Amino acid sequence: MGINWFKFSSPASFYGLAGKMIPWFYALAAVLFAAGLYISFFVAPTDAVQGEAYRIIFIHVPAAWMSMFIYVVMAFWAGLGLAFNTRLSSMMATALAPTGAMFTFIALWTGSLWGKPMWGTWWVWDARLTSELILLFLYIGFISLQSAIDDPRRADRAGAVLALVGVVNVPIIYFSVKWWNTLHQGSSIKMTGSTMVKEMLIGMLIMALACWMYAIGAALSRVRLIILQRERHTGWVTELLARGGK
């Protein structure tokens, strides 16, 4: 048993630690978004086949990655909370859900705006699009289920079961373009072939990192609210409020 590990697994000390880390994540996100957008619009060349509308991928692909990644992390924390009864990990899962749902919605929305000029349709019920839509419903289900249960610990457990069952959907999304014959194109991250020049790849990776930093910042901001809410009857919150919330 490591000592440091358990120190920060207490909500009170994590509250302080998160407060110190949040500005750094937001600052990093801002810098990375600026660099990523600059590369996406000014450095990356016009696509020979898809013209300028292809520039949607610089937000679409990172958002789609985040939607899946955040779900897996959320299910991991929820599962840990369920298995070991650790309150903070359950709170972390709850904090991640709205941000994950937001990225899923961005992925679907930008995908739709991509599909219209490229494929001639806003939406098709193919495997990739349908499984991503199911992901959005899983996030919404997780959030609604938790908010429908008054007792926080019971809400944590119910949410964890849903999150863990739903994790099956993530590999389905990821491999759907290989397993089924979908309208959605295959992975763009292939160094061979002409679909992805180096500047495009770099732009996309920087945008993904920016989304990552943003998501960590937002989730930490939200977990602090959840900690305050749930620990409101404890001494350290009383002291914190006496200091004006700092």
Partner 1 sequence: MNWASWADFWDMGGRAFYVWGSYGLALLLMVGELVILSKSRRTLLQRLSLMQNVAAEEETDETKA
On the CB side of 28, CA atoms within 13 Å amount to 17
Which stretch, 79-87, 106-114, 151-159, 180-188, contacts partner 1 (CB under 8 A)? 106-114
Which stretch, 8-16, 100-108, 130-138, 175-183, contacts partner 1 (CB under 8 A)? 100-108
Specify whether the CB–CB gap between 212 and 66 falls below 8 A.
yes
Phi, psi (deg, nearest 5) at residue 173? -60, -50
Of 71 and 114, nearer to partner 1 (C-beta) is: 114
The CB-of-162 to partner 1 minimum distance in angstroms stands at 22
Residue 96 binds to partner 1 (criterion: CB under 8 A): no
Q: Is 84 helix (H, G, I), strand (E, B) or coil?
A: helix
Q: What is the DSSP string of 25-60?
A: HHHHHHHHHHHHHHIIIIISPPBTTTBTGGGGHHHH
* Cβ burial, residue 219 (10 Å; 0-12/13-18/19+): buried
Residue 213 binds to partner 1 (criterion: CB under 8 A): no
The C-alpha atoms of residue 137 and residue 131 are separated, in whole angstroms, by 10
- Of the candidates 18, 32, 39, 63, which one interacts with partner 1 according to CB under 8 A? 63
Residue 31 binds to partner 1 (criterion: CB under 8 A): no
Phi, psi (deg, nearest 5) at residue 232? -60, -20
Binding pattern for the stretch 115-154 against partner 1, x by CB under 8 A and - elsewhere? -xx-------------------------------------
Q: Which residues bind partner 1 (CB under 8 A)?
A: 41-42, 44-46, 51-53, 55-56, 59-60, 63, 98-99, 102, 105-106, 109-110, 113-114, 116-117, 214, 218, 221-222, 224-225, 228-229, 232, 237-238, 241, 245
